[in-house]
Amino acid sequence: MNSERAEQLRRELQEHSYRYHVLSDPIITDGEYDQLYNELKALEEAYPELITPDSPTQRAGFEPISDLPKVPHIKPILSLSNAFNRADLIAWYERIRKLLAPEAQIDFVVEPKFDGLTVVLTYENGVLKQAATRGNGEVGDDVTPNVRTIKSIPLRLLKNEIPSRLVVRGEVLFLKEDFKRINEKQAEEGLPLYVNARNTASGTLKQKDSRITASRPLTAFVYSIVDADGDVPETQWETLAYLKALGFLTAPEARRFDNIETAAAYAEGFERHSLPYEIDGLVIKVNRHAVFEELGVVGKDPRGATAFKFPSEEVTTRLIGVTIGIGRTGVLTPTADLEPVFLGVTVKSASLHNYDLIHDKDIRLGDKVIVKRSGDVIPYVVGPVIAARTGTETPILPPEKCPVCDFPVIRPAGEVAYYCSNPACPERIARNLIYFVSRGAMDIDGLGESGVRLLLEKGLIHDEGDLFFLKAEDLLELEGFAQKKVDNLLNSIEAAKSRPLSRLVASLGIRGIGTTVAALLTQHFRTIDDLIQATPENLQNIEGIGPHTAAAIVEYFSQPHHLALIEKFRQAGLNLENQREVPTSDKLAGKAFVLTGTLPTMSREEASALIESHGGSVKSSVSKKTDYVVAGEAAGSKLTRAQVLGIPILDEQGLLHLIGNE
Ligand code: IVH
C-alpha cells in the first residue's frame, strides 16, 4: 500500500518536474507540486525502506538541459527545507537547538523568499566576471552576457577594500509593475500575454540573444556570499548591509530577531502582497555564519535555514461556465464559474478580465484553468492548462445581445471592452445607482445594493436625482425600514448634498472617469456648468485626459436625460462648485513626479493638484525621466523602481519643502 503510493508519487513528481524544468509547460502549480513532494518525503521519513535512489527527494536538482555554456559552481548551491506553519518552524528550531551547545546564542534573520531564479555572481577585483544559474546545484548555465543587462546588478562594486574574489548569490525576477508593463506592450503589439512572472524571468535570463534580455527589465536582489578570498562579515545581518554597501539591491524587509518566537511572529504576520515583487514565503536563517556552518547540511538543505512557505495561491480547477455581469457604464464583464476549489477560501468564481484576454490566452469553456489569488483582489483565471485539453472545450465569444435587456452589444473604437448599447438598460441603471451611493462615491450611508434594488422595484426612484427627493412616509412603507433607519438614511442623503464637486463628477458613471480624473477635471472646470460646456479640445488640454476620455465626457453631457439629472441635483441643492483655491507658482516647472503609497495628510489628488499648481507634472510610472518620486506609507514597486534607477525620493515634508511652504 505505502510502497505503491510512494511509487505513484515518484512517477508523478518525475513527470511534473520534467514538464516544469525541461518543457517549461507545467500542468500543476508549484503549490500542488510541493504537496506531492511533501507527501512522499513524509512517507519516506516514516518508512525509510521505501527510499529509492531515483526518488526526487534524493537529488539536488534537475540536470541543466539548455545549450548555454556550463559552469561549475565553486561550492554547491544549496536549497532549503520547508516549513508551512509555526509548528514546523518551532520543530526546525528544536532540531538545531539540540545540535548546538546549550549556551549557544542563536539569533535569526528573516528575509523575503523571492519567487525568481537563483544567480551566482563572481566578482574579481570588484569587477563582474561571471554569472551562472543554479542548474543542478553543482553545474549551472553561463548567463553572463544576459546578467550584464540587469541594471540592479553592479558591473563594478562600490567599495575598494573587498576580497579579490567575491562570489554572491541572489535572485532574478520581474517587479510586478515591470511584468505588467511587459504584458501591456505584448497586448499593444497583439502578441500573446505572459502568464507567469517567474517563468518569463527564467526564459528571459536564459535567452541566447542578450538584446532580448536587455529589452525586458529584470531586477536582481542579492542575499548571500557564497565564497570569498578575504574577510567578509560574520553574520547574515551584517552581510546584507555589506552587500548593500557594495551596490547590490537587498531586501529592505529583512529583519533580525533575538529568538525564534519573534522571528516566527514576523513571518506569520507578513503581508506578502504589499511587496513590489512576488514572494512565495520567507527564509529564516541562523544569523551567525559560524553557527550556520556548524549545523551542516542534510542532503541538499542546510540545517541553518528554512523556508517558511506561504500557502499556495494558485490552483487548477475546471471552468464550467461564464456569467456576464453588466457594469454601471454598460460594460460587460465575463466572470468564470469554477468547480469549487480551495484557495485560502473556497472559490467558485474568478475574473476573466475581458474578451480580448480570453481570446489571447485561448481560454475555453470546459478547460482546466489555473486560478490565482493575489492580495485582496478577487481571484482571476491565469490561463488554461493546454496539455489537459480533451477536445470537448469550446471557445468563449462575446455575446451579441445584452443578457438583461437584449439590446445589441457594441464595442467603442479603441476600447477593449464590450458594452450594452441601451442607456436605459435596467441593470445599468441599478449598477450606476449602487455605485453612486457607495462609499467611494457619494457615500450615502445606510443604502446598499439591496436597498437600491428595492427602491427601484417599488418605483420610488428612477435615477440618482430621485434619491434627494425621497420622503419619510414612502420609505416607512418599505419592508425593513423602521423610523430610525429612515431617519438615518435621510440624514446621510442630506449630508451627501455637500460632497465636493469632484466626488459628484466621479459618481456619475461616465466612462473612464474615476476619482483621479474627476479631481483633475474639477481643478480646471470649477463648476458643473463649465464642465458641461467644455469642448473636446478644452478637455484634452489637461494632462492626463486623452481623446477617448474627452469624447466620453462630451458624449455624456450631450444626452438630455443627463442634463435633466444635473438639473434635479441643482434643485435638490447639491454642491455643484469647486470651492478650493489652489496656490500657484512655477517652482516645479518642467519637473516630472510620480506618487506612490499613502501620504500622511494629503490625498493623492491633493498632492497631484499641488504639484501641478506649481508647474510640475504627475506621471503614473517611474522611468529615467522621472525627477522625483513622492513616497508615502505602503509605497510599492514604484519606490523600488526609483531606488533601482537612483531617482530622488521625497516624503510629504520633502515635497512641501521643495515648494517652499512647510
Ligand atoms: S538562502 C544556503 N535566501 O529559494 C542558502 N534563498 O527553495 C540557501 N531563495 O534555491 C538559500 N529568496 O534560490 C535564500 N532570501 C533568500 C531567498 C532564497 C529566494 C531561493 C533560493 C533557493 C530557493 C529554496
Which DSSP symbol is given to 484? H
> Partners of 173 in the beta sheet?
219
pLDDT at 652 over 80: yes
Q: Are 230 and 236 in contact (CB under 8 A)?
A: no
Residue minimizing CA distance to atom 18 of ligand 1: 113
Closest-lying ligand 1 atom to the alpha carbon of residue 254: 15
> pLDDT value at position 182?
85
> pLDDT value at position 471?
95
CATH number 3.40.50.10190 given to 592-659: yes
> pLDDT value at position 523?
85
pLDDT at 21 over 70: no
Residue minimizing CA distance to atom 16 of ligand 1: 113
Radius of gyration of the chain (CA): 29
> pLDDT value at position 190?
55
Confidence of residue 60 (pLDDT cuts 50, 70, 90): very low
Q: How far is CA 445 from CA 216, 474, 482, 593, in A?
A: 47, 18, 16, 36
Residue minimizing CA distance to atom 4 of ligand 1: 113
Q: Are 315 and 339 in contact (CB under 8 A)?
A: no
> pLDDT value at position 272?
80
Q: What angle do CA 508, 509, 510 make, to 5 degrees?
A: 100
pLDDT at 171 over 90: yes
Among 478-487, 489-498, 633-642, the minimum mean pLDDT is found in: 633-642
Query: Over the stretch 81-91, which tens digit does the pLDDT of each residue have?
Result: 999 889 999 99
Single out the catalytic residue among 75, 98, 113, 458.
Answer: 113
Give residue limits of the domains in the chain: 2-58, 70-309, 314-410, 426-572, 592-659
> pLDDT value at position 198?
85
Report how far ligand 1's centroid is from the alpha carbon of 250 (Å).
Answer: 13
CATH number 1.10.287.610 given to 2-58: yes
Closest-lying ligand 1 atom to the alpha carbon of residue 113: 12
Q: Are 405 and 415 in contact (CB under 8 A)?
A: no
Whether 113 is a known active-site residue: answer: yes
pLDDT at 192 over 70: no
Q: What is the mean pLDDT of residues 201-230?
A: 89
Residues with CB under 6 A from ligand 1: 78-80, 111, 113-114, 118, 171, 223-224, 283, 302, 305, 307
Closest-lying ligand 1 atom to the alpha carbon of residue 117: 13
Report how far ligand 1's centroid is from the alpha carbon of 284 (Å).
Answer: 10
Instruction: Extract the C-alpha cell encoding 323.
Output: 456569467
> pLDDT value at position 379?
84
Average pLDDT value for the chain: 88
- Please state, in angstroms and rounded to a whole number, the distance separating the CA atoms of residues 99 and 117: 32
- Please state, in angstroms and rounded to a whole number, the distance separating the CA atoms of residues 574 and 571: 8
In which element (H, E) is residue 565 found? Answer: helix 560-572
Report how far ligand 1's centroid is from the alpha carbon of 370 (Å).
Answer: 25
> Partners of 593 in the beta sheet?
618, 628
Residue minimizing CA distance to atom 11 of ligand 1: 79
pLDDT at 630 over 80: yes
Report how far ligand 1's centroid is from the alpha carbon of 282 (Å).
Answer: 9
314-410, what's its fold?
OB fold (Dihydrolipoamide Acetyltransferase, E2P) (2.40.50)
> pLDDT value at position 581?
58
Q: How far is CA 304 from CA 93, 223, 252, 254, 285, in A?
A: 9, 15, 22, 17, 6
Instruction: Extract the C-alpha cell encoding 529.
Output: 456648468
> pLDDT value at position 65?
45
Confidence of residue 582 (pLDDT cuts 50, 70, 90): low
Q: Are 408 and 398 in contact (CB under 8 A)?
A: no
Residue minimizing CA distance to atom 13 of ligand 1: 118
Of 360, 322, 314, nearest to 338 by C-alpha is 322
Non-local (6+) Cβ contacts of 134 within 8 A are 61, 77, 117, 118, 119, 120, 140
Q: Are 128 and 323 in contact (CB under 8 A)?
A: no
Query: Over the stretch 254-281, which tens digit does the pLDDT of each residue have?
Result: 999 999 999 999 999 998 877 899 898 9
Residue minimizing CA distance to atom 17 of ligand 1: 113
What's the farthest any 2 CA atoms get from each other in the chain? 86
Residue minimizing CA distance to atom 10 of ligand 1: 79
- Please state, in angstroms and rounded to a whole number, the distance separating the CA atoms of residues 605 and 627: 19
Q: What is the mean pLDDT of residues 389-417?
A: 93
User: The domain 70-309 belongs to what CATH superfamily?
Assistant: DNA ligase/mRNA capping enzyme (3.30.470.30)
Q: How far is CA 193 from CA 44, 181, 202, 227, 461, in A?
A: 41, 11, 16, 39, 44
Closest-lying ligand 1 atom to the alpha carbon of residue 116: 19
> pLDDT value at position 8?
86
> pLDDT value at position 62?
41
Q: What is the mean pLDDT of residues 459-474?
A: 96
Among 175-184, 279-288, 446-455, the minimum mean pLDDT is found in: 175-184
Confidence of residue 63 (pLDDT cuts 50, 70, 90): very low
Q: Is 440 helix (H, G, I), strand (E, B) or coil?
A: coil
Instruction: Extract the C-alpha cell encoding 17.
Output: 518536474
Q: What is the mean pLDDT of residues 302-330?
A: 90
Mutate to test the pocket of ligand 1, among 73, 75, 77, 80 (most ligand atoms within 8 A of CB): 80
pLDDT at 639 over 90: no
Among 22-36, 498-512, 541-555, the minimum mean pLDDT is found in: 22-36
Mutate to test the pocket of ligand 1, among 20, 21, 113, 120 (most ligand atoms within 8 A of CB): 113
Query: Over the stretch 327-383, which tens digit does the pLDDT of each residue have?
Result: 887 889 899 999 999 876 789 999 898 898 899 889 999 999 999 876 445 688 989
426-572, what's its fold?
DNA polymerase; domain 1 (1.10.150)
Query: Over the stretch 449-464, which tens digit does the pLDDT of each residue have?
Result: 999 999 999 999 999 9
Residue minimizing CA distance to atom 23 of ligand 1: 79
Spell out the SS3 assignment of 126-166.
CEEEEEEECCCCCEEEECHHHHCCCCCCCCECCCCCCCCEE
- Please state, in angstroms and rounded to a whole number, the distance separating the CA atoms of residues 145 and 213: 9
CA dihedral 80, 81, 83, 87 (to 10 degrees): -130
> pLDDT value at position 622?
87
Instruction: Extract the C-alpha cell encoding 528.
Output: 458643473
Instruction: Extract the C-alpha cell encoding 334.
Output: 465575463
Q: How far apart are the first and last CA of the chain?
A: 74
- Please state, in angstroms and rounded to a whole number, the distance separating the CA atoms of residues 514 and 604: 13
Q: Count of CB atoms within 10 A of residue 516's CB?
A: 16
Mutate to test the pocket of ligand 1, among 283, 293, 295, 297 (most ligand atoms within 8 A of CB): 283
- Please state, in angstroms and rounded to a whole number, the distance separating the CA atoms of residues 60 and 299: 7
Report how far ligand 1's centroid is from the alpha carbon of 321 (Å).
Answer: 40
Task: Tell the residue number behind the cell numbers 536564459, with chain if given.
Answer: 206
> pLDDT value at position 369?
95
Report how far ligand 1's centroid is from the alpha carbon of 79 (Å).
Answer: 6
Q: What is the mean pLDDT of residues 34-43?
A: 84
Q: Count of CB atoms within 10 A of residue 222's CB?
A: 24
Report how far ligand 1's centroid is from the alpha carbon of 80 (Å).
Answer: 7
Report how far ligand 1's centroid is from the alpha carbon of 117 (Å).
Answer: 9
In which element (H, E) is residue 529 found? Answer: helix 528-533
Q: What is the pTM of this model?
A: 0.52
Confidence of residue 66 (pLDDT cuts 50, 70, 90): low
Of 152, 116, 121, nearest to 275 by C-alpha is 116
Q: How far is CA 253 from CA 106, 110, 112, 248, in A?
A: 20, 8, 7, 15
